[in-house]
Structure 1
Amino acid sequence: MDSHTLGSFFAVTHSGICFQNVSVYYNRQRVIDDLSGIFKFGTMTAITGPNGAGKSTLIKTIMGELLPNTGKIDRGGISISALGYLPQSLTIDRSFPVSVIDTVILGAWQRIGPFGGVTSKMEYEAADALSAVGLNGFDRRSICTLSAGQFQRVLFARLLLQDPKVILLDEPFNLIDTRTTGDLLHIITRWRDERRTIIIILHNFEQIRAHFPNTLLLARKPIAWGPTDNTLSSANLLTAQSIADSWFKEPELY
């Protein structure tokens, strides 16, 4: 999609999250380079690419945590506060002894507000969300006692309570067991059937090909964006890896 076409698109429709020639710098390094395209509402898209390719930076840019240095983003009328976001679990501090149920209820923050209280209806909905992710009876457990898979289920329950139309997932299956991965993929399939928009960072090409019809392949600049089978071609993957091999060695901050 060229600049003129995408510019016209911004003006006439709100059918997705649109990027027009977006570049983002992080620690003076250009991490996203001239990205143009659209995450259409109601679709599932995987973002993949080598380490340091800009995948998490892209999610943070959609969330408004980082701003484009050049280019333009249109979120299609969706406010940033209405986006559902699940960060990498390793970035979350679990040392504070908060309960499972209280963690899930944080998903209702937009409804509660800074001065509101938790209602019995919210507590019921939180318990229902825990049941949906297979954690009946875990309500009063501290999150610091949970396994990695159990904690990831809690984070999915929090998203269920939030009930967002656009869901951003940053490597949600990292370091969790096969059964938990299957159960969480079932929830993602449910969201797909409800026509929610799902944008997910994954490294596992088998999972991407099996479950996600659209893929963005990044190597700081977009290599391909479209149907998964086309995007994950051998030629495209070789191009992405060749670009990654040319980068200077640096910490994986992206």
Structure 2
Amino acid sequence: MSDSALVFDDVTLGYDSHPVVHHLRGRVERGDCVAVTGPNGAGKSTLLKAINGLMTPLGGRIECGARARRDIAYLPQVAEIDRSFPLSVGDLVAAGAWRHCGIFSAINGTMEARVSQAIGDVGLTGFEQRAIGALSGGQLQRALFARVLVQDAAIILLDEPFTAIDNATTRDLMALIGRWRQEGRTVIAVLHDLDLVREHFPRTLLLARTAVAWGATGEVLTIDNLAAARHMIEAPDPHAPLCPVD
């Protein structure tokens, strides 16, 4: 794989044998900062889950250059977080230490300091004992970014990290992504804000069940490519199973 962080070898992804992403081919180099964008239903979140090992491809292979799956940090959509679960900010962030300490082991003093530093880095000092259910959307997203900081992973997956948060929070969290880029980490983020993509992500995968375009952001996010992506999503999926006629 040389310097590739991820290689997609004719990957098809889906649920209950129904394909959602078809025949994806390409690679993400180490240190790349890649936006994954496209219309709703394009398969963007499905792709991140497959990279993280949460689902098995229906076909093809995803080759991961990380040393192990635990070297991948995954930040899901905020909507997937059970905010009723009795968990404090400190506990949520400390959960990122499991790859270093083990799931059932107590964290040591060094890791406690890392957790505290991460909470401070996202602007949540003083919130350590606050229940996650009492946080605003932006505060919860900051806490999730702090957990990723503690994970210290080589590959970072972010699923719609800036949905329903204010501009100040977006600016602060984008600064963390910039820091990860400087550290040589690989960042892949599902995003809808194309202005944000153009400004901060040098490479983009435009997805609409398959790769419409993949490469330098300015060459991918053209009017023609975006129109083609919308058309592909609005058109019937040729890979969908046929329904019996009554």
Residues 77, 167 of structure 1: alpha-carbon distance in 2 compared, 3 angstrom cutoff: closer
- Give the corresponding residue for 2:151: 162
- Give the corresponding residue for 1:3: none
Unaligned runs of 5+ in 1: 1-9, 249-254
- Check conservation: 1:14, 1:77, Cα contact below 8 A: no
How far apart in 2 are the matches of 1:172 and 1:114? 25
Unaligned runs of 5+ in 2: 238-246
Normalization by structure 2: what TM-score?
A: 0.93
Residue type matched to 1:17 in 2?
L
- Give the corresponding residue for 1:5: none
How far apart in 1 are the matches of 2:59 and 2:82? 33
Q: CA deviation at 1:72?
A: 1.7
Residues 24, 111 of structure 1: alpha-carbon distance in 2 compared, 3 angstrom cutoff: same
- Give the corresponding residue for 1:45: 34
1:215 aligned onto 2:204? yes
Q: CA offsets per residue over residues 146-166 of structure 1, 9 Å max, x none?
A: 000000000001111111111
Q: CA offsets per residue over residues 160-196 of structure 1, 9 Å max, x none?
A: 1111111000000011111101100000001011111
Q: Which shifted more, 22-31 or 44-53?
A: 22-31
Q: Secondary structure at the match of 2:226?
A: helix
- Give the corresponding residue for 1:238: 227
- Check conservation: 2:19, 2:58, Cα contact below 8 A: no
1:16 aligned onto 2:5? yes
1:191 aligned onto 2:183? no
Normalization by structure 1: what TM-score?
A: 0.90
Residue type matched to 2:195 in 1?
E
How far apart in 1 are the matches of 2:20 and 2:108? 43
What aligned pairs does 1:1-254 form with structure 2 within 5 A after superposition? 10=1, 13-247=2-236
- RMSD, aligned CA: 1.2
Q: Secondary structure at the match of 2:206?
A: strand
Q: State the aligned residue count.
A: 237
Residue type matched to 2:224 in 1?
A
- Check conservation: 2:50, 2:57, Cα contact below 8 A: yes
Q: CA offsets per residue over residues 53-85 of structure 1, 9 Å max, x none?
A: 010111111111111111122112431121000
Q: Secondary structure at the match of 2:57?
A: coil
Q: Secondary structure at the match of 1:239?
A: helix
